[in-house]
Structure 1
Amino acid sequence: MEPFLTRSYRQDRIAVRGGDLTVGVWEPVAGLDDDAVAAVTPHPPITPTTGYTAVEPPAAAEVPTGPRTILLLHGLTGHHQAFLAVADRLDAYRVLAPDLRGRGQSYPLLGPYGMAAHADDLAQVLEAEEARDVVVVGYSMGGLAALVLAHRYPGLVQSLVLLDMWLPRLAFPSEDRDATVSHIFAPLFATIERRYASLDEYHRFWERSGRFDAPLSEQARAALDYALHGREPELGIRVQQRAAWDDAIEVMGAEDVLAALNGLSHPARLLWHRAGHAEGAAAWDIADSAESWASLLPTLTAVEYPADRRIPLFTDDGVARIRAAVDELARS
């Protein structure tokens, strides 16, 4: 079911440097009855112990008693409608989800890109939407933007959920940083360089990718179609290539990102699995990185979850785990 059929949804345009940022806004559903609550909370929240845990089992569910703002930040080549299923599950909350600079309807915004630029844009969004004490959910690259937002504007953020976030590391002394980034992110770069002759070809491409259920769900199809621009036979994905490159390079130890991670003081949950980003990327040891950072940072808990290659934003288990983590942090 489309989220905008069950709750209020709109797109706001927020003035930022160089133009406007598009933000999807879902307002909370008032007066959920018992049947509605049961329908949106079938998967209980995760209550991990302090530090690092592996495949933590869920605990008892609890629905928040009042609306709180949740900020959803998409990945490197994403946009706000990648969160359709997540926003639907978070119907007890007010949800803000921007198209980050250079993506989606914010595609016309030029650089500078990078996590500091995204954080500054996001601070403008939260100010314009009068949001405080926000729980920020960052998927993949969005997790890095969430960290830098919390570091640069600590008063706006209450806590963080970092889903499948690339844990940054410094380049080795003899390493060609550009070559490493090109290799690891090659599949993502290829999707934004590719052209599709028709909408059907585009849908078949993503069904064969293994990143979505086949046939595509209504939410996956809506999210994929939102990303398109151009006309047949030259359809493309609405992502500035320079934005994708400048943001990807920051996983190699950008100063802003490392400072934000080292200085993390907000409660944070890192949810990760071995299949997705780590696949074919031997330069990163995800398990060791998660365990190391969780042992160093007292407010960070790393939780591994079992998953396959599908994008967790579109799986029942992935969406439920996001809701569980948000519920836990919103109560703290």
Structure 2
Amino acid sequence: MIPYEEIRVPVTGGELAALRWPAGETGAPVVVALHGITANALSWGAVARELAGRATLVAPDLRGRAGSAGLPGPYGIAAHADDAAALAKGAGEGPVVLAGHSMGAFVAALAAVRQPDRFGELVLVDGGFGFPAPTHLSADELLTAVIGPAMDRLSMTFPDRDAYRSFWRAHPAFGGEGWSPEVDAYLQRDLTGAEGAMRSGCLLEAVRTDGVGLFQEEVLAAVRELPQPATLLWARRGLMNEEQGLYDETRLAAAGQPDTKVRAVPVEDVNHYTVLTGDKGARAVADALLRAAVQH
């Protein structure tokens, strides 16, 4: 892993924890990168390595996660978008490149719509395009359908860090070449508590609020209202490494992607997680970020 700095940024209610991987040269572009619903800032570690100092990468622990777990609510996609704008304000002069993975892509799109002068081009990673919620499902049923396994993990306890590591190493998405020291560090950042009863540091209330928020009209509409061009890198494979990913050409057409400012690019041989954390995915993301920076 390459070195990073721990920083804290004033936001409503307190300070947002973030990691900063500085560029090797003064005047290099700045990227603000947002993680998924139960992830944390270190999910961007492999991308930072692939950037190799050609840009400054700043990734927060979103409100209710890891180092920002102590920040109070309200939670929700809009609250994260406001926090991202505050982070960008202190990250560099002029518009910064904004990126988001999974839920973070929805946050990025909403932040760009709300603060068009704060951000340049966007890079969305396997997220940002959604679909209206089925009307026959309750909020709890909807959350179970979308992030059921993730919600279950938040209620689990683990005797020690090795047990948590073993839990994740058995996950289909991280099997074989999907595991790395960067993935291990990212997942271990999530763990909190004393040995014997360690658990995820993600707050269940935050995850529930954010999960429901992904289906709000303003959030779903944001990607179609972007003031700047964007690139969507979508994974061919899904959350459990299944052949069907979150997106494919048909699903993106149904979501209206061809009529937006978003260019959709498939990434082969990756799943929803390794499109960000694996070598091939991280390389594709880093290249997209640098291309977006050139457009400023």
Match status 1:318 vs 2:285: no
Tell me the CA shift for residue 267 of structure 1. 0.9
Contact 1:138–1:161 (CA under 8 A) maintained in structure 2: yes
Instruction: Give the partner amino acid of 2:24.
Output: V
Counterpart of 1:60 in structure 2 is none
Tell me the CA shift for residue 236 of structure 1. 0.7
SS class of match (2:172): coil
For residues 25-54 of structure 1, the C-alpha deviation after alignment (integer angstroms, 9 at most, x for no partner) is 1111139xxxxxxxxxxxxxxxxxxxxxxx
Instruction: Give the partner amino acid of 1:228.
Output: L
**CA 1:278/1:304 → structure 2, altered by over 3 Å: closer, same or farther?**
farther
Of residues 15, 20, 25 in structure 1, which corresponds to 2:20?
Answer: 25
Structure 1 Cα separation of the partners of residues 232 and 249 of structure 2: 12
Structure 1 Cα separation of the partners of residues 138 and 249 of structure 2: 24
SS class of match (1:120): helix
| Alignment map for 1:274-289 (pairs within 5 Å) | 274-277=236-239, 286-289=248-251
Tell me the CA shift for residue 116 of structure 1. 0.9
For residues 241-299 of structure 1, the C-alpha deviation after alignment (integer angstroms, 9 at most, x for no partner) is 111111111222x132134223112111111124224978x9x76543323422121x1
Counterpart of 1:240 in structure 2 is 203
Tell me the CA shift for residue 166 of structure 1. 5.2
Contact 1:19–1:109 (CA under 8 A) maintained in structure 2: yes
Instruction: Give the partner amino acid of 1:23.
Output: A
Contact 1:118–1:145 (CA under 8 A) maintained in structure 2: yes
Farther off after superposition, 172-181 or 106-115: 172-181
For residues 118-159 of structure 1, the C-alpha deviation after alignment (integer angstroms, 9 at most, x for no partner) is 111111112233443111110000000100110111101101
For residues 65-98 of structure 1, the C-alpha deviation after alignment (integer angstroms, 9 at most, x for no partner) is x510011110000111111111121220011111
| Alignment map for 1:54-203 (pairs within 5 Å) | 67-90=28-51, 91-165=53-127, 167-203=129-165
Of residues 251, 263, 268 in structure 2, which corresponds to 1:301?
Answer: 263
Contact 1:116–1:256 (CA under 8 A) maintained in structure 2: no
Structure 1 Cα separation of the partners of residues 253 and 151 of structure 2: 29
Contact 2:231–2:263 (CA under 8 A) maintained in structure 1: yes
User: Scaled by the length of structure 1, what TM-score is found?
Assistant: 0.81
> How many positions carry a matched residue from both structures?
290
Structure 2 Cα separation of the partners of residues 313 and 162 of structure 1: 11
RMSD over aligned CA atoms reads 2.3
Instruction: Give the partner amino acid of 1:68.
Output: P
SS class of match (2:174): coil
Structure 2 Cα separation of the partners of residues 112 and 169 of structure 1: 24
Instruction: Give the partner amino acid of 1:67.
Output: A
Contact 1:73–1:80 (CA under 8 A) maintained in structure 2: yes
Tell me the CA shift for residue 307 of structure 1. 2.6
Structure 2 Cα separation of the partners of residues 238 and 175 of structure 1: 28
SS class of match (1:211): helix
SS class of match (2:173): coil
Structure 1 Cα separation of the partners of residues 270 and 293 of structure 2: 28
Counterpart of 1:54 in structure 2 is none
Instruction: Give the partner amino acid of 1:78.
Output: A
Contact 1:126–1:132 (CA under 8 A) maintained in structure 2: no
Structure 2 Cα separation of the partners of residues 230 and 88 of structure 1: 29
Q: Among the aligned pairs, what percent are the same residue?
A: 30
Moved over 6 A (4+): none
Structure 2: give runs of 5+ residues left out of the alignment: none
User: Scaled by the length of structure 2, what TM-score is found?
Assistant: 0.90
SS class of match (1:271): strand
